[in-house]
Amino acid sequence: MAEPALHLPDDALIEPLCEDAGHYLRGGRLLEAGRSPWQAYEVWETPRFGRLFRLDGCFMSSERDEFHYHENLVHVPGLAHPGPRKALIIGGGDGGSAEELLKYGTMRRVVIVELDAQVVALARRYLHGVHHGVLDDPRVELRIGDGLDYVRAQRAAGGERYDLIVLDLTDPVGPAAALHTADFFAACRALLAAGGMLSLHLGTPVFQPARVQAMVRSLRSVFACVRPYFLYIPLYGSLWGLASASDAIDPAALSADEVDRRLHARGIAGLQHLNGAVHCAQFALPNHLRSLLA
């Protein structure tokens, strides 16, 4: 007897990961939806992830899951740096990356350049569990505008330098496409202080291998040390790639004991994902990823 065809539930929130695969959540309750000048947005209350938001049908962040992404995006470079004082976030209007950056006692200034004011408004209304109020911290300067324009203007003016630059972006399509190029990475490199580091997400090597490969290639054309690392992110439905890039610092050179020592010395407590052993393990690439990124 033939197996019955699979039918998705009527209340499924579906996200395609490529042309022939995707994943879904169900049981959500819509809290708000609309369209900004830049993208369609939705905020949902869900049984699995609590409150989450989507942009153009893609899951972005959730209360219960954001730590997988934000801890690794920020602390892999942050712990490798000897003492970050100033950071620039391009994107990141939900405040999750800023919340992690402000766990460093040395941090004096975090600039967030977010294209879409509606993302910030949604975060303020619904996503306190992601940002924990840091959008109103006096160390945070929030600018609504195009990250590409901001970086270019700062570079042309010889503006301030940052110890960390975090590209907390949507996928490289539409307005974000120009922020995933070698030219943009080079412009960001010019804004890094001596020993500065950049981090970003690459996508899924399972469903978007060409994208991940191209991103790493572009980073390597600009920076002396590019370290991809990988973890499973439940909300994104797959193994996910991130990367750290620098001309001076290699986060993979830290031992597990040194990472744990720095976490303790810097007073960074309560992390839900990252510890010394995990930090080191994420750089250990299986053979298929070694081949992809060779």
As annotated, the active-site residues are: 168
Give per-residue burial for 30-40: e unless 16+ CB within 10 Å, then b.
eeeeeeeebbe
d(CA 264, CA 276): 11
The answer for residues whose C-beta is within 8 angstroms of residue 59's C-beta and 6 or more apart is 13, 15, 52, 235, 236, 237
Type of residue numbered 144: I
**Which residues, at least 6 apart from 75, have a Cβ–Cβ distance to it below 8 Å?**
100, 268, 271, 274, 279
SS3 239: strand
DSSP H or E segment with residue 16: strand 13-18
How many Å is the Cα radius of gyration of the chain? 19
One-letter amino acid at 274 equals L
CA distance 106 to 86: 9
Tokens representing residue 1 in the block: 């007897």
